[in-house]
Structure 1
Amino acid sequence: MLFSYLTPLALVLMLLAASIRILPEYKRGVVFFLGRFQRVKGPGLVIVIPGLQKMDVVDLRVITMDVPEQDVISQDNVTVKVNAVLYFRVVDPEKAIIQVENFVVATSQLAQTTLRSVLGKHELDEMLSERDKLNDDIQEILDVQTEDWGIKVANVEIKHIDLNENMIRAIARQAEAERERRAKIIHAEGELQASQKLVEAAHVMSGNPAALQLRYLQTLNDMGNKNSSTIVFPLPIELMDAFRSMRPKPPKE
């Protein structure tokens, strides 16, 4: 008699233990009753009747996914290898379970194709210099396409853009040529400014013989400070005219 009572009680306890689920704060359970969607439950204590109900658990935390390395042909026909990292989370557990078979795999495949599609519309220089804009474009496209799956794409970051050795050498030569071009432009601008100042100085000295004389004497002084025993210099006629003009006139009788 005791055994006949204990058996049903044990079965009830086992059924009750199989029915009780505890979901943490960051998880939700999508419950189906005889194959039909019933409701989203959790967090906390959830009771699921075995055989009649089925529950799929969804994590609501942000998922970090590495987008595998992709071969991308840029708009200027340069082949590069690009990989990225994707941050997304489930905002609607019902859609994430019902609308797509495996939302993680589907999001990964969509991220790979979108990465190739977006980067293929840009030239190599844009890939290297405008990563923030490309990240925003990829994130916006993914966010729109995954909205029906109950997924919110928070961010996309391009990690590496790998080039072959020939392209790296070509970019290095291009950078070196650009630096040389800038150096020549700066040197030419300096020569132009110096010539303009020399023209202005020449105008000032031509109108003031005393200034011309002082500049000539300063030049002689600079030459005399050098280690040289003999100095040969021309004596311009204009300098003699300057001296004669500065000679005091004799008093009138």
Structure 2
Amino acid sequence: MITLYFYISMVVLVLALLISTFRILREYERGVIFLLGRFYKVKGPGLIIVIPLIQTMVRVDIRIVVMDVPTQDVISRDNVSVMVNAVVYYRVVDSQKAIINVENFHEATSQLAQTTLRSVLGQHELDEMLASRDTLNRDIQTILDQQTDDWGIKVSNVEIKHVDLNESMIRAIAKQAESERERRAKVIHAIGELEASEKLSAAAEILSKQPQALQLRYLQTLTEIAGEHSNTIVFPLPIDMINSLRENMARAEK
């Protein structure tokens, strides 16, 4: 009876070893195989063989990981405190480096992204953070991709999501924008006055050469005034007419 139990136990043990020998890796998984503690090779996907007690396997997911970078308190180059968060897209391109060269590549990438975000944004002014996000995204992505290359990580994209300001800074920016609009309005008004004065000067020079044209312009102005249905119309007398009356009166007295 004892011998029977022993044989049954041996058969179950052998079956268990055989079952554990075969592993199935999905299309997006890779297996890093260690032989007696030393790196052997990377296997997968599909059905692979791992020899029990001699070989061990570590699964690695090679899909793109979307990592949310926690909100960071950043001091800009012009000494403005802002709260910034971002999102990083990366994937494992070398499973061997991701397992051997770093203890936890997800945590390492997260910490590196936080420090790089603070470092890069701290070199720029607030206006650049608000208006040049595409440039900042590329700078952060380039730095992260270079530093994670030894970990077998490829950082494909970085996006700054929010740049939060305190209430006092929002009011200051609003005042700055209002002042800028007023400045532009004054400049546009001054340019308009300059162009109008140039046109009026040219028109006066042309009218001075032809007195008849001045009279026609005078009559046209009266026509425009009459068309406005005003109750009172002031009819100014031309200087030429007054001078002509004076000359006639002087001749009559003689």
Give TM-score, length-normalised by structure 2: 0.90
Q: 1:7 to 1:231 in 2, by over 3 A?
A: closer
CA distance in 2, matches of 1:34, 1:235: 115
The answer as to whether partners of 1:82 and 1:161 remain within 8 angstroms in 2 is: yes
The equivalences for 1:99-248 within 5 A come to: 99-228=101-230, 230-239=232-241
Q: Secondary structure at the match of 1:12?
A: helix
Q: 1:233 to 1:139 in 2, by over 3 A?
A: same
For residue 69 of structure 1, what is the amino acid of its counterpart?
T
CA distance in 2, matches of 1:202, 1:47: 99
Aligned with 1:76 (options 74, 78, 87) = 78
For residue 237 of structure 1, what is the amino acid of its counterpart?
I
CA distance in 2, matches of 1:205, 1:104: 82
How far off is 1:201 after superposition? 1.0
Q: Give identity over the alignment, percent.
A: 68
My pick for the range that moved more, 218-227 or 25-34, is 218-227
For residue 129 of structure 2, what is the amino acid of its counterpart?
M
Q: 1:156 to 1:240 in 2, by over 3 A?
A: same
Q: Secondary structure at the match of 2:206?
A: helix
RMSD of Structure 2 on Structure 1 (CA): 1.9
- Could you tell me which runs of 5 or more consecutive residues in structure 2 were left unpaired when the two chains were aligned: 245-254
CA distance in 1, matches of 2:222, 2:34: 104
CA distance in 1, matches of 2:135, 2:197: 45
How far off is 1:3 after superposition? 4.9
Q: 1:96 to 1:230 in 2, by over 3 A?
A: closer
Residues 114-134 of structure 1: per-residue CA shift (max 9 Å, x gap): 000000000000111110110
CA distance in 2, matches of 1:160, 1:202: 59
Give TM-score, length-normalised by structure 1: 0.90
CA distance in 2, matches of 1:13, 1:229: 114
The answer as to whether partners of 1:213 and 1:239 remain within 8 angstroms in 2 is: no
CA distance in 1, matches of 2:210, 2:128: 59
Aligned with 1:53 (options 47, 52, 55) = 55
For residue 18 of structure 2, what is the amino acid of its counterpart?
L
- Could you tell me which runs of 5 or more consecutive residues in structure 1 were left unpaired when the two chains were aligned: 243-253
CA distance in 2, matches of 1:8, 1:87: 49
For residue 179 of structure 2, what is the amino acid of its counterpart?
A
CA distance in 1, matches of 2:226, 2:6: 128
